[in-house]
Amino acid sequence: MNTLLKLAVALLFIGLNLYVFRFLARADVLPDREQFAAFPQVADAWRCNSWHRMDDEIIEQLGVTDYLLCDFVHDGDHGVVNVYTGYHATQTRDVSGGENVIHTPEHCLPGAGWDIIQSDIVPMEIGLGGEAKRVVVAKGNARNLVYFWYQSRGRMIASNYEKVLYLFVDRALDGRTDGSLVRFTVPILHGDEEKAEATFLSVAQALTPLLPDYVPN
């Protein structure tokens, strides 16, 4: 019975996918937005000293339309925070298996050699407000604190399933499938996780209010 129930749910999910993407909204609506090339390199006491460019092959694999990838440093003693925001103007899958949907870091981090040793969904009161995924990762003796969330249509979402649900709803109602992944990576130095947490809050409070111009509501 459990197997039949799972099969029924899977078929329902596939049917909903086809119905929404084939019948309720045929043309993608592309909202106006600023390009990340214009993102401020200085925000409060944080500044971008190292703007990274991804290879074309990586951009194609991610299916990202525009992105911000930068190491932000603090004028004080907060250290360096790697900030990534990847914007997808549309998110689709085709019958051949091609896709440009947002990839969750929980799949990408292990592929880069990082082990996830802690993972929680936590409430966020910065920026738009909502929820984020808080993850601690390890590679050898190195530890990083990673915060990430999916941001679109004025929402901060931690759950991948909730992100997919809103993708269907927004496509059906407004013809929009755009969205983004926002990720902050903070080194945990000398095992001081509390300081890494304070560093994240500092940089996030400086940068997240700027995002809606680049990730439209």
DSSP 121-134: EEEE-STT-EEEEE
| Spatial CB neighbours of 29, under 8 Å, sequence gap ≥ 6 | 174, 175, 176
Q: Structural domain tally of the chain?
A: 1
Sign of dihedral through CA atoms 50, 55, 60, 62? negative
Sign of dihedral through CA atoms 204, 206, 209, 211? negative
CA triple 198-82-115, angle to 5 deg: 85
- Quote the CA–CA distance of 179 and 101 in Å, as a whole number: 9
The tally of CA atoms less than 13 A away on the side-chain side of residue 134 is: 12
How many CB atoms sit inside 10 A of residue 135's CB? 21
Please name the residue that has the structure tokens 């304070």.
198
Q: Which of 76, 138, 79, 150 is nearest to 113 (CA)?
A: 138
Per-residue pLDDT of the chain (217 residues; tens, 9 = 90+): 455 654 554 455 555 555 555 545 456 788 899 999 999 999 999 999 888 999 999 998 888 999 999 999 998 777 899 999 999 998 876 544 456 788 888 888 888 899 999 999 999 999 889 999 999 999 999 999 999 999 988 899 999 888 888 888 888 888 889 999 999 999 999 999 999 999 999 999 999 999 999 999 8
Containing structural domain, residue 104: 2-213
Q: Model pTM?
A: 0.84
